[in-house]
Chain A
């Protein structure tokens, strides 16, 4: 086969789309709270579950989460994974722990980075606290909590958080 007739196996198709994102009512209130180092969850009008971060609806009931509730930056690890393989766009030293954290006062956990803790000591029920960025760097972003770190408190027994996995 001559050079000209070689099969094309791939082509580059550069695409760029720009968006003007608007987060909606619930997320706007949450992000404005984050600017003030306040974590504002929202409570379902049906079942009373508190969502952090809130998106405006209770996924269980399909009802609006209208009541605002301030929750703490302390919480409990309800599940976790240790990351040992590198991946693109993530420049965190390996190995590290990605933890599912249930904040005190919230009913739904979210995933966050756990740092300054030897990964082999991470366990379910471990108490943690958010480490905030310096005040000068605060913006309307969940990233204001840079990472979580361990608290010197007794572990929470599994039965206490098993409904919140």
Chain B
């Protein structure tokens, strides 16, 4: 295996609705910042990979238009995944492992505010038996939350405490969208949106973009003072149909965590892609995270959940924590699909 490290990261401030700039206009400053900070000249970056979905903008091939933001001349080696940017990161890592590139630019973007996100996400379900019933993303998460309550594996108070902690931690993150000190009792007094989920347990619809440069050992050491090394990376998938799963568990997250070597040494922090507050407990158990591991110090997806970006942002936020001396070993997690169906785990270290 080749050593690969994150050498730079940039993201937009996350907003509820980006109406002034289109995707390309949103991406350009973020791409420039990530490339400039990396110290690798743009033309020398060996591979570029993006993650996004056309359903957010309702425009076919919008990911091709986004290539305008890169400046792909002379022609570059480029790829795209119809997934969160964390999976674009995975593809770029593979490309470097295969020796086909020594560095890569990874980015993702989304303006989910232009459509009705919970309905858009319904289209990721199987089109024959489940999608025609049109269960939206919030309703499916509510089924998962209900299963947790029934199994005694969570409580509404626990979820409110998670939300309050995330908003409090987000105060230190200039890019976060939902932040501040809130009273748990006040959160519990909110009405249900979809029982048993209240507003504070839901991800804010968020627009934004993020970009990252990763590089192989020698290149990373040359350009970066403190490379954030990828010590383990794995992603796994549970059955597509939520009806085939025990929704209180995330076996694919557990397996990905084991394969990535999460437990081989103590972790200082974990950035978990938990769009819904009840999912934090599921992942804590699946990844065997003890109370001494700080969860989502950036505020996490409850503070900003840019669709298709939030997974890549977990990697970026974990790297930022390590760059600023908040720890030496971090776990970054990304998810896709309904109810934590697909899970990616990455172990990052600065030592």
Q: Do they bind each other?
A: yes
**When the two chains form their complex, are residues B21 and A24 in contact, meaning their CB atoms are under 8 A apart?**
yes
Q: Which residues of A contact B58 (CB under 8 A)?
A: 17, 19, 21
Q: Which residues of A contact B55 (CB under 8 A)?
A: 17
Q: Counting CB contacts under 8 A, is B28 at the interface?
A: yes
Q: Which residues of B contact A56 (CB under 8 A)?
A: 21-22, 24-25, 28, 68
**When the two chains form their complex, are residues A24 and B123 in contact, meaning their CB atoms are under 8 A apart?**
no
**When the two chains form their complex, are residues B115 and A57 in contact, meaning their CB atoms are under 8 A apart?**
no
Report Cα–Cα, A99/B37, bound state, in Å: 43
**When the two chains form their complex, are residues B127 and A23 in contact, meaning their CB atoms are under 8 A apart?**
no
Interface string of A85-118 (1 = CB under 8 A from B): 0000000000000000000000000000000000
**When the two chains form their complex, are residues A18 and B116 in contact, meaning their CB atoms are under 8 A apart?**
yes
Q: Counting CB contacts under 8 A, is B178 at the interface?
A: no
Report Cα–Cα, A11/B69, bound state, in Å: 40
Interface string of B71-107 (1 = CB under 8 A from A): 1110000000000000000000000000000000000
- Residue of B with least CB distance to A60: B73
Interface majority SS (helix, strand, loop, mixed), chain A: loop
Q: Given A15-B123, A57-B69, A58-B71, are A21 and B114 neighbors across the interface (CB < 8 Å)? A: yes
Question: B interface, how many residues as a size bin?
Answer: 35 or more
Q: Which residues of A contact B68 (CB under 8 A)?
A: 55-59, 62
- Residue of A with least CB distance to B115: A19
Name A57's contact: one of B25, B119, B131 (CB within 8 Å): B25
Interface residues of B (CB under 8 A from A): 18-25, 28, 31-32, 42, 55, 57-58, 65, 67-73, 111, 113-116, 119-120, 123, 127-128, 131-132
- With A13-B132, A21-B114, A63-B28 given, can you name 19 additional A-B contacts, CB distance below 8 Å? A11-B128, A13-B128, A17-B115, A18-B116, A19-B114, A20-B113, A25-B21, A25-B22, A27-B22, A56-B22, A57-B24, A58-B68, A59-B67, A60-B71, A62-B28, A62-B31, A62-B42, A62-B72, A63-B71
What are 5 A-B residue pairs whose CB atoms fall within 8 Å in the complex?
Answer: A17-B120, A20-B113, A57-B25, A57-B68, A62-B68
